[in-house]
Amino acid sequence: MTQSHVSGMETSAISVLKRAVELDNSGRFQESLVCYQEGIQLLMDVLKAAVKDDSKRGHYREKIKGYMDRAEQIKAHVNQLKEDGKYHEQIRIAEDATGYSYEALFKPYMSSLLTEVWVEDPYIRHTHQLYNFLRFCEMLLKASCKVKKIHLLTSQDEADSSQQSSALAELKQSLSAQGLTLDLQYSSTIHDREIRFDNGWIIKIGRGLDYFKRHKGRFSVGYCDYDLRQCHETNVDIFHTKHTKTL
């Protein structure tokens, strides 16, 4: 492994661990735990790959131990809150903020135990909203967990239900080919928005999945990569329950 490669890993580790500390200090413990784990692994890779100086090795070992101790404290704290049914975390997405793709937002809560997802969102109707739901499904397909079923409860588009119906029917068929079942139901009274995972996590987004702003042009930054797409202001509330929802 080249020195430049090792330096790159070290830079990445510092960046990830800096983010972990920021999330930790702001009370976003589950997200910080994921970053601590990623950063610690990167530091361990640096230690194994290239550090020959004993003083440097000792420095890295000390840093790794400190971060591991803090990660264990957070893990115990989060587990206790989950056990007591008191876990609540809030993320405020500011107007025009970036960095909130579905992968970035949901990854900390998608453990290997996740197999089933419930989406309640009254606004999976218009073209861009249907594409949002498609991106959400694609994110689940790419994740390391093995989601087998997605339940969608939404409202019917009274102005043009044919486009909504045909789009969701096509998506259902496409997901089926990937081994994933889409259970679709409509409600004329649904208002609240929430996403539930069968590993106990509940994510409530004020704007549902529709928190991205319209792109500024087909060849503008953020058109393809949603980590670079600007967002509308909204709040995300995360809870955990030992009792999962069934429909």
Q: Looking up tokens 């909203």, which residue turns up?
A: 129
pLDDT tens column, 7-35 = 788 899 999 999 999 999 988 898 899 89
Q: Are strands 116-120 and 149-154 parallel, antiparallel or unpaired?
A: parallel
User: What is the identity of the amino acid at 118?
Assistant: W
* Torsion angles phi and psi, residue 149, rounded to 5: -150, 135
Q: Where are the domains of the chain?
A: 3-84, 88-240
pLDDT of residue 126 exceeding 50: yes
pLDDT tens column, 71-100 = 999 999 888 888 777 888 899 999 999 999
* Torsion angles phi and psi, residue 97, rounded to 5: -65, 155
Which of 101, 82, 55 minimizes the C-alpha distance to 230? 101
Mean of per-residue pLDDT scores for the chain = 90
pLDDT of residue 246 exceeding 50: no
* pLDDT (average), residues 44-49: 82
- Per-residue pLDDT, 247: 42
Which of 208, 206, 214, 217 minimizes the C-alpha distance to 231? 214
* pLDDT (average), residues 223-227: 94
Residue 124 binned pLDDT confidence (cut-offs 50, 70, 90): very high
Residue 165 binned pLDDT confidence (cut-offs 50, 70, 90): very high
Dihedral (CA of 34, 38, 43, 47) sign: positive
The answer to whether the CB of 193 falls within 8 A of the CB of 205 is: yes
Q: Are strands 181-186 and 201-205 parallel, antiparallel or unpaired?
A: unpaired
Class of domain 3-84: mainly alpha
Which of 23, 189, 57 minimizes the C-alpha distance to 120? 189
3-state secondary structure of 28: coil
- Per-residue pLDDT, 53: 67
Higher pLDDT, 154 or 83: 154
The answer to whether the CB of 43 falls within 8 A of the CB of 67 is: yes
Count of beta carbons in the 10 Å neighbourhood of residue 185: 11
pLDDT tens column, 190-206 = 999 999 999 999 999 99
**CATH number for the domain running over 88-240:** 3.30.870.30
- Per-residue pLDDT, 134: 97
